[in-house]
Structure formats: C-alpha cells, structure tokens
Amino acid sequence: MNIENMEAFVYVIHYGGFNKAAEALYLSQPSVTARIQSLERELNCKLFDRIGKQIQITEEGKRFLPYAQQLLLIYQKGKQNISQKKSLPDEFRIGCTLSVSNYLIPELLPLLGKYYPAMRFKIVTGVTDEIVDKVLNKEVDIGFVRHVSHPNLQSIKLYEDPIRLYVYEGHPFLKEPRLAIEAIARQQLVFFECGALDWLRIHRIFENLDHPPNIRIQTDNSEMAKKLVIQKAGISFLPGWCVRQEIRSGKLFPIHFAETEGISMQTNLIANQGEHAEILATILEIGRELTMV
C-alpha cells in the first residue's frame, strides 16, 4: 500500500477538500485525485462521495481513517528516529570527576551502551572546573560535575549523594543510640575532602568544640579513605555512593546524627545549550533508575 496515497486521503479530510490538500502537499489537484483513486482501487471501495463540487467521506472512509492516521504517525516516527540515529556521533566523549568515574560510570555505561550499541565511549576525568572548560571548548560532549551554573551550559541535577559518618564492623558507635559531637571528635578520623562547598559544613560541625577533631589522616581520595576505615585506621565522613557495596557486604556502617542531615554532594549533568538532547534524556532516565537502587 502506497504511503503517499494514504497521506493524500488524510490531508483531504483534514483540510476539507482536494484543492486545499493539494496546496498543503505542494501537488496539483489532479495529482491528489489520482492518489485517492489509486487508494480506492487498493481498498476496493469508495472513500468519498462526490456531490457536485462538494465531497463527503463514505462510511468505509470513516472506518479506514483511524488506521490511515495511525500508519502515517508510525511512518513519521520511524523517519524521525532514523534521522536522529544518523545524527548521533560514532564516539561520545564524557568528562567526569574522579568519584563519578569510580562509582557511577561503571554502572551507567553498560546500560547506556544498550541504547546505543554502535557508539564508542571515551571517558576523561578531572576536577569540576576542568570538565566545565572541556565541555565549553567541545573537547568532551557532556560532563558529570559538582553543581555549577553557566550561561552557555545546560546544567541538570542528576542526583544528590548524602554525606554521612561511616564506621567499621564492631565499632563501639554501633551500640550507641545517640552520639555527641565531642565523642566523634575524639575518634581517629580519616578525613576525606574533595573541595566541594558541603565539606565546609562538615568542618562547621566541630567549630564550637573546645578542642579540634582528631584528624589522623587527611586525603582527597575517597577510595583510600574507605579502605582505611575498613582496615580500622579510623572512621570517616563519606558520600553514600562510594560505599554502597561495602554497606551491602557488611564492611561499613552509616552512623546517623542530626548534625549531618541535609549535607550532600550534588552531581550535575552538563552540556552546551541545545546539544545532545536525546542522549541527555537517556542518561537522566538511567540515572533515576540507578539512584533508586
């Protein structure tokens, strides 16, 4: 069945006549008439009754109309999908912070690859400012960074990662129903700090104490901090994403207290304005699924 014939049929009904349909399709009126006649032969029925200069859709035409509209819609969506796929790059370049590369990317990329099986991915790591510059200069296509705002970028919140105190198996804090800040300050602390604003809020928890917290080890590497806690070198404030596996396996345990409520690290997805809309939407959907796990 010829899709152009069905298109002419739908246009005649939509515009209320052969002449207006012909104008909309950039065809002559005889061409539209010929297409309708061809469709009627294919269907072996009359679609229109012609009464003088007026036309009226037949009962058969009314029954066929919703199917013709649906077939046209499917055809148009198929063309649009093919066009979008052709515009996708062969290689997609992703910039991200180190923590995102360690914890989010290994879970996200296999799922993203199922949506785009022909696409290759290149990952570049750096601090937020470096990734922002790389996106603006088109050295990478998108970036996963801390919360940023820039007039030339679309910046969308992907997820918030709560920062909590984590202790190792058997730590005495696990038996304490309530903890005082003074008790935490006396513990050996492995202090992970990535430079984000929310780490200032962790510092402020201790600022009114008579003595500073017992920071035994300070590092900018969350993997190191996590492993030191597992080895019982101290306890640490860490983002939740980086310890998900260790919590499941019973190696680390979160300690909840009011002073850390609402402290989190926000990760945003950035791209130049108007670019990569389809892939951004796919990543946001995958991200929502992963953060709910």
CATH of the domain at 220: 3.40.190.10
Question: Which amino acid, residue 191?
Answer: F
Ramachandran category for residue 16: left, alpha or beta (phi over 0 → left; psi -120 to 50 → alpha): left
**In a shared domain, residues 33 and 77:** yes
**In a shared domain, residues 61 and 121:** no
**In a shared domain, residues 190 and 57:** no
**In a shared domain, residues 150 and 27:** no
**Separation between Cα atoms, residue 229 and residue 220, nearest integer Å:** 14
Token pair recorded at residue 53:
């200069």
**Separation between Cα atoms, residue 89 and residue 118, nearest integer Å:** 10
Looking at residue 243, the DSSP 8-state letter turns out to be G
**Separation between Cα atoms, residue 260 and residue 169, nearest integer Å:** 21
**In a shared domain, residues 46 and 187:** no
Local structure of 139: helix, strand or coil: coil
The answer to whether 252 and 167 are in contact (CB under 8 A) is yes
**In a shared domain, residues 182 and 242:** yes
The answer to whether 145 and 97 are in contact (CB under 8 A) is yes
**In a shared domain, residues 78 and 201:** no
**In a shared domain, residues 261 and 140:** no
**In a shared domain, residues 100 and 111:** yes
- Show which of 87, 103, 129 is a domain's final residue: 87
Task: Residue 212: count other Cβ atoms within 10 Å of its Cβ.
Answer: 10
- Show which of 70, 87, 104 is a domain's final residue: 87
- Show which of 60, 87, 114 is a domain's final residue: 87
**Separation between Cα atoms, residue 101 and residue 114, nearest integer Å:** 19
What residue has token string 């709910």?
292
**In a shared domain, residues 244 and 195:** yes
Instruction: Please report, in tens digits, the pLDDT of each residue of the chain (293 residues total).
Output: 688 998 899 888 888 889 888 888 888 999 999 999 999 999 999 999 988 778 899 999 899 999 988 888 888 777 666 655 556 788 999 999 988 999 999 999 999 999 999 899 999 999 999 999 999 999 999 999 988 888 889 999 998 889 999 999 999 999 988 888 999 999 999 998 766 556 788 888 898 898 899 999 999 888 999 999 999 999 999 999 899 999 999 999 999 888 888 888 889 999 998 888 889 999 998 988 887 65
Task: Residue 118: count other Cβ atoms within 10 Å of its Cβ.
Answer: 8
At 36, which CATH number? 1.10.10.10
Local structure of 66: helix, strand or coil: helix
Query: What domain range includes position 206?
Result: 160-265
Local structure of 142: helix, strand or coil: strand
Query: At a CB cut-off of 8 Å and minimum separation 6, what does 68 contact?
Result: 6, 9, 10
Q: pTM above the 0.95 mark?
A: no
As for how many domains the chain has, the answer is 3
**In a shared domain, residues 129 and 170:** no
**Separation between Cα atoms, residue 217 and residue 208, nearest integer Å:** 22
User: pLDDT tens-digit profile of 114-166?
Assistant: 999 989 999 999 999 999 999 999 999 999 998 888 888 999 999 888 999 99
**In a shared domain, residues 234 and 102:** no
